[in-house]
Amino acid sequence: MTRSKSRREVLLGAAALAGAASLPRVASAQAKGRIVVGTWGGDYARLLNKNIEAPLLIKDGWEVVQDQAGDPERRSKMLAEMRLPRGTTDVQGLSAINMFQMHDAGSVLPIDYGKLKNAGHLLPAMKYPYGVGHIYSGKVGVYNPKIITTAPVSYKDVFDPKQGNKVGIIDIQYQYTMVCAALAAGGKVDDLEPGKKLLLECKKAGMRIYPTNEAFAQGLKSEEFGLGVMWKARVVQWQNAGISVTSMTPTEGALAYVSGFVIPKNSPNKEGAYAYLDAMLDKSAQEAFAVDMGYNPTVSNAVVAPDLNKRIGFTSDEIKNLVDLDYNYLNKNDVALKEWWDKELKG
Amino acid sequence: MLSATTLVGPATVFVAAGLLVPLAILFRYSFDKVDARRIMIETFSFDNYVKFFSDPYYTGVLATTLRVAALCTVVCLAMGLPLAYVLARTQSRFKNVLLMLVVLPLFVGNAVRAAGWMTLFGSKGFLNVTLMQLGIITQPLQIMFTEGAVMAGIIAVNLPYMVLTLQSVIEGINRNVEEAAFSLGAGPATMFRRVLLPLSLPGILAGTILTFILGMNAYATPVLLGGPKFKMMGPLVYGQFQLNNWPFGASVAFVLMTATLTLTATANILIQRRFRR
């Protein structure tokens, strides 16, 4: 017999509230009120402050506080706080699949696009009913031309057992890697079985598995391997760091990676939350993120310099061809997919 | 006058609130069922424990953890005992400096230290480049992402704990009892076996338990030096929580804790019985 659990949610919620009380302040109290932003730490948090919060919100009288943590922790917190009348954050930065997960759990507010003056410029694909896309990139093929002399053109060329130990994949990117392999093997975003089979063949042929994006970059740099898949934005950062790597948009269509923001249903300051989303879509903030992070703007009025656009952007055909994940399928099967990844592929 | 209750109270309340209550909650979670939408559904089933013990993958992770922790403890003891003896008996005026040198590795966090090992062990790291330049090897050795790398990392972290524990106990053993053994005709090995070892047993036990527990619960070192294919229990627990599978993560945490406590207590009892005779 099962029942929902208010007791533990109250306990977890209390813990979350206690945690929120110790949040670092990034700006002193201002006239318009406080916006609490759930975000990853590191560069992304720094750039949110530099490109959105300081120039567009704090200057206007808002107080902005960042609640920095990894997304699993922040998602757990959102679920734990769900039943509380008043949550501890106003907006939460999540990837598209995790925005869907929180929507599916019933923890986020439907977005009223009428409240966003910049929504008119938002690309239609970035307008989720439950969240707003902030930046996007695509999963492209990456290769070192010194090691891979015949340029790959598709995911199929990347996940080719004939490449042996020249192929590398990233442990923490298991979902996207499995979908890329599925597309390479003729599967679909909601049918990963052909991809699993192909990955096992690649593993047998010597495919290398790296724990993190950084370890993958290190392997590319030291020429331990020369072929894989990665966000185009990240490839640009690696090129800037002097790593010999070229990217290609796969013929199957690049898997889209979207990072955006949702508003928790119990956000204490919904007006502030909408102000944050609007500032995030501002032309100047979007352009700055393209320059600083290499991700593409999600608004049509942002202007990206042609040379930068050539490196980070996609042609209109490639944009049309972008493949979105099946969020519902991945959300329902995440535990099983990760178990397969750990036990069968890595084991 | 302060009563015993007043003295014991604050620490007891702190431990109860900060450790026992969360442990009790986590233990209850371990009988729940994972749910993609609500993290978990409250129920009472042993499914998570059955899943762990019936799947060779998970029992293999436990076996790896036990093996690594036990081997690291043995190596720490073998390397730590002579070092601790020298430190305890030295009359050098640099004794405090030597002690500081032993503790020095603890001045940096596990993750930072593991990052240092990565630069040493990598295929283009210091060790491989040196060996290749000396012409000893032609291809870089695969050291990173192996059990050996993890063990080297864990031993480096745990050795100071073993040395410090042993050194403080050996220092408390009167030098005269060693001299007495020698004067009665015992060689160094006999003196060690019949005098030093039994007398330093409390330190050996404490150091062994400490390093074994640290080895069983290692996280940063196996993640950074073991790579994605090498699994120990600490990273497995965290991985389940990252996946929002709290019930299974909780059950793995309790398997780890029970295994550690049981083995530690058993070793303690067996060793004490052996040397009481």
Does the distance separating the beta carbons of B231 and A105 come in below 8 Å?
Answer: no
Q: Does B22 reside within a domain? A: no
| Neighbour tally for B96: CB within 10 Å | 9
Note the pLDDT tens digit of each residue in B209-240. 999 999 999 999 998 899 888 999 999 999 99
Asked if residue A36 lies in contact with residue A90, where contact means CB atoms within 8 angstroms, the answer is: yes
Which residues between 306 and 335 in chain A have a beta carbon less than 8 angstroms from any beta carbon of chain B?
Answer: 331-332, 334-335
Angle at A270 (CA atoms; ends A268, A272), nearest 5 degrees? 100
Q: Does B197 reside within a domain? A: yes
pTM for this predicted structure: 0.81
Q: What is the CATH number of domain A6-135+258-314?
A: 3.40.190.10
Q: Does B71 reside within a domain? A: yes
Structurally, how many domains does chain B consist of? 1
Average pLDDT of adjacent 10-residue blocks, chain A of 347 residues? 49 50 47 94 93 96 96 89 94 96 95 97 95 96 95 97 96 94 95 96 95 87 92 89 93 96 97 98 97 93 92 90 93 92 91
Does the distance separating the beta carbons of A338 and B123 come in below 8 Å?
Answer: no
Q: Does B88 reside within a domain? A: yes
The CA distance from B145 to B114, in Å, is 12
| B71 to A129, B145, B159, B201: CA distances (angstroms) | 55, 18, 12, 19
Among the four given CATH numbers 3.30.830.10, 2.40.50.100, 3.40.190.10, 3.40.50.720, the one describing domain A137-256+324-345 = 3.40.190.10
Q: Does B109 reside within a domain? A: no
Q: Please give the pLDDT value at position B125.
A: 85
Q: Where are the domains of chain A?
A: 6-135+258-314, 137-256+324-345
The CA distance from B214 to B128, in Å, is 29
Q: What is the CATH number of the domain that holds B56?
A: 1.10.3720.10
Nearest CB to B43 within list A2, A331, A338: A2
Note the pLDDT tens digit of each residue in B100-151. 999 888 888 888 888 888 888 887 788 999 999 999 999 888 888 899 999 9
Domain that holds residue B262: 46-95+146-276
Please give, rounded to a whole number of angstroms, the shortest distance from the CA of B130 to a CA of chain A: 16
Which of B58, B120, B231, B244 to mutate against chain A (most A CBs within 10 Å)? B244
Pairing of strands A227-231, B33-35: unpaired
What confidence category does residue B47 fall into, taking pLDDT thresholds of 50, 70 and 90?
very high
The CA distance from B123 to A311, in Å, is 30
Q: Please give the pLDDT value at position A25.
A: 44
Does the distance separating the beta carbons of B57 and A72 come in below 8 Å?
Answer: no
Q: Does B26 reside within a domain? A: no
Q: Is residue B267 scored above 70 in pLDDT? A: yes
What confidence category does residue B253 fall into, taking pLDDT thresholds of 50, 70 and 90?
very high
Asked if residue A176 lies in contact with residue A216, where contact means CB atoms within 8 angstroms, the answer is: no
The CA distance from B152 to B169, in Å, is 26
The CA distance from B58 to B232, in Å, is 10
Interface check B44 vs A, CB under 8 A: no
Q: Which of A50, A5, A346 is nearest to B37 (CA)?
A: A5
Computed over every residue of chain B, the mean pLDDT equals 91
Q: Which of A28, A19, A27 is nearest to A52 (CA)?
A: A27
Q: Does B266 reside within a domain? A: yes
Q: Please give the pLDDT value at position B4.
A: 83
- How many A×B Cβ pairs under 8 Å? 71
Nearest CB to A105 within list B37, B43, B57: B37
Note the pLDDT tens digit of each residue in B148-199. 999 999 999 999 999 999 999 999 999 999 999 999 999 999 999 999 999 9
Phi-psi region of A294 (alpha: psi -120 to 50; beta: other; left: phi over 0): left
